[in-house]
Amino acid sequence: MADLHARPARRSRSPRRARSAGAAAALVLALSACGGGDSEAGGGATTDGDVTTLTWQMWANSQIETDALNRLSEMVTEQHPDIRLQLQTSSFADYWTRLTAQASGGDVACLLGVQGPRVPLIADLLRPLPEDELQGAGIDMADFNEEMAASLQVDGTQVAVPFDLGPLVVFYNADAFEAAGVPLPEPGWTVEDFTAAAEALQASGIDAYGFFPTYDAFTAWSLTLTGQQAIGDDGELNLDTPEMAGVFETLQAMREQGLSPALPATNDGLESLNQYMAGNTAMVVDGPWQYGNIVQNAAFTPGVAPMPAGPDGSASHLAGSGYGVSANCSAPEEAVRALSVITGPEALQYLGEIGRAYPARTEQAASWYQGELADAQPALEYAIENSTYLRTNPQMNQLGQLFQQYGIPAFNGQQDAGAFLQQIQSQVGGS
C-alpha cells in the first residue's frame, strides 16, 4: 500500500519539479536572449553573403518622417545593391538619451543622426571623416553651406555630413499686421521697426511678440543686438557680461511694456510657437523647420522675416543636422558610401521638395521653396546669408535646460537679468 501511495506521489511531484525547473530555465533563456539580442547589434553591421546591413539610428516624430527616411534607405540600396540600411527611430526628445544609454552599453548603430549643437556631447562616438575619405565616396564639402558644414566639425575635421539647416527667423501673422495697419516686415527691417510694429499690434489688441527663453531664441537676439554669442569659438561660456545682460534686459523691457505676454512655468519649449499658431501672439522667433507646420495649421496668413537688424545689421544663427558614422562601426567603408547617398543631391532634393528639410547642399536649397513655402524665399535666403552657426560646448544640454528653467521667472520680472545670467554661468560655466 505504501508503495501504491508513494508512486502516484512521486509521479505527481516529478512533473511539478520538472515544470518548475522548466519555468526557471525558460526565464533564464528569455533573459539571456535579451542579452544576446543586444550584443548582436554591436558594431552596427552584419554581413550576409555580399550584402552588408548597417543599422541607422535617427529621430523621427511621425510616420511621415519615418517614410521619408525609408525612402532614403531605398535610394542607398538602389545605388549600392550590396548595402542595406536597417532604420531605428525614436522621438527627437528621446533620441539623445537612448543614443547615449546604448553607447554606454557599447551598442551603437553604424549611421547616426547628429544635430550640430549636440556634436560635443557625442563627439567621442563619432568616427572622424577626413576630406580624402569623403571625397573617395564622392562627397565634396564645398557643395554644402559653409557655416553648416563647420558646425559638424571637431577640431577642423568633419564628424558628420549635413543634410539640413535653418537660421532662426521671425514668423509673423500677416492678418494681424494688416488689421493693425502695420506694413509687413521685409529683409532689412530694424529693431526700431520691430518695436514700432509691436506697439501698433499691441494697441490693436493682440500680444505682439511671444518670447520663450530658450538659449536658441536668446542667441538670435544677442547676435542681432550685439553681434556676439554667449559661447565663443573656443567653447567658453560667457553669459555674465554686460552685453548679454543688456540683451536680456531688452527682452524683459518688452514684457514690462506689455508687448510680450507673461509666461507660465513650463518645460514645453514650444510654448511661444503654440501661442503664435493659436493666433494669440503676432510674432515669434523660430526656425524654418516649423514653417511647413505653421502654413498647414495656422488659421491666419503667416509670413517670414529675418531677425530685425541691430546696430551692425541683421544677424542670426543657423543650426541643422547631419549624419555621421559611429566610431565602432564594423563596416566603415560601406557606411561612408551609404552616407554619400543619404546626404547626396538626390536625397536632399527629395527632402526639400516634400518640405521635410531645408537642404544643406546649396544647389538643392531652392527645392524647398515649393507651393506656399515659396513666399519665404527672400527672407530665408537673406537670413542664411547673415547667419553664423550656433557655437556649442559639451555642457549644451545643461545650458539649454537651465536657461529655460530659470529664464521664465527672470523674463517675468522676478529676477534681475544680470543675476539670472550669473546664476546660469556659475552652474554651467563654473565661474
Partner 1 sequence: MAVTLPPVRRDVRGATATAAVGRRRSLTAWGFLAPSAAGFAVFTLIPIVGSIGLAFFVWPLLGERTFTGLDNFRTLFTTDPAFWRAMLNTTIFVVLYVPLNFVVSLGLALWMGPRIRGRGLYRVLFFLPAVTPMVANALVWRLLLQPGGLYDTVAQSWFGLDAQNPLGGPFSAMVCVVLMSVWQGFGYNMLVFAAGLEAIDRNLYEAAAIDGAGTLRRFWSITVPMLSPSMFFAAVMTLITSFQVFAQPYILTGGGPGNATQTTVMLMYQSGFQFFQLGTASAIATVLLLLIVLVTGLQFLGQRRWVHYDH
Binding interface with partner 1 (CB under 8 A):
13, 16-17, 19-21, 23-24, 27-28, 31, 97, 100-101, 103-104, 121-122, 124-125, 261-268, 280, 397-398, 401, 404-406, 408-409, 412, 414-415, 427
How many separate helices (H) and strands (E) can be counted in the chain?
17, 13
Instruction: Closer to partner 1 by CB, 63 or 266: give it.
Output: 266
Do 80 and 337 touch, CB atoms closer than 8 A? yes
To the nearest whole angstrom, how small is the minimum distance from the Cβ of residue 200 to partner 1? 21
Provide long-range contacts, Cβ within 8 A and 24+ apart, for 407-411: 407/213, 407/214, 407/218, 408/213, 408/263, 408/264, 408/265, 408/266, 409/265, 410/213, 410/248, 410/252, 411/211, 411/213, 411/248, 411/251, 411/252, 411/255, 411/260, 411/263
Dihedral sign, Cα of residue 98, residue 100, residue 106, residue 108: positive
To the nearest whole angstrom, how small is the minimum distance from the Cβ of residue 278 to partner 1? 9
To the nearest whole angstrom, how small is the minimum distance from the Cβ of residue 172 to partner 1? 19
Instruction: Closer to partner 1 by CB, 90 or 100: give it.
Output: 100
CA distance 271 to 255: 16
Instruction: Closer to partner 1 by CB, 64 or 262: give it.
Output: 262
Provide long-range contacts, Cβ within 8 A and 24+ apart, for 153-158: 153/119, 154/119, 154/120, 154/123, 154/126, 154/128, 157/128, 157/129, 157/130, 158/128, 158/129, 158/130, 158/131, 158/134
To the nearest whole angstrom, how small is the minimum distance from the Cβ of residue 127 to partner 1? 15
Instruction: Closer to partner 1 by CB, 27 or 184: give it.
Output: 27
To the nearest whole angstrom, how small is the minimum distance from the Cβ of residue 39 to partner 1? 17
DSSP three-state, residue 340: helix
Question: Helical H runs in 59-171?
Answer: 63-79, 92-104, 119-122, 131-136, 146-150
To the nearest whole angstrom, how small is the minimum distance from the Cβ of residue 413 to partner 1? 10
Count other Cβ atoms within 10 Å, centred on residue 258: 13
To the nearest whole angstrom, how small is the minimum distance from the Cβ of residue 397 to partner 1? 6
Instruction: Closer to partner 1 by CB, 345 or 394: give it.
Output: 394
To the nearest whole angstrom, how small is the minimum distance from the Cβ of residue 213 to partner 1? 11
Instruction: Closer to partner 1 by CB, 97 or 370: give it.
Output: 97
Q: What is the largest CA-CA distance in the chain?
A: 107
Instruction: Look at the block and give the residue holding cell 506694413.
Output: 183
Q: Which of 317, 309, 318 is nearest to 224 (CA)?
A: 309
Instruction: Closer to partner 1 by CB, 135 or 427: give it.
Output: 427
Instruction: Closer to partner 1 by CB, 143 or 300: give it.
Output: 300
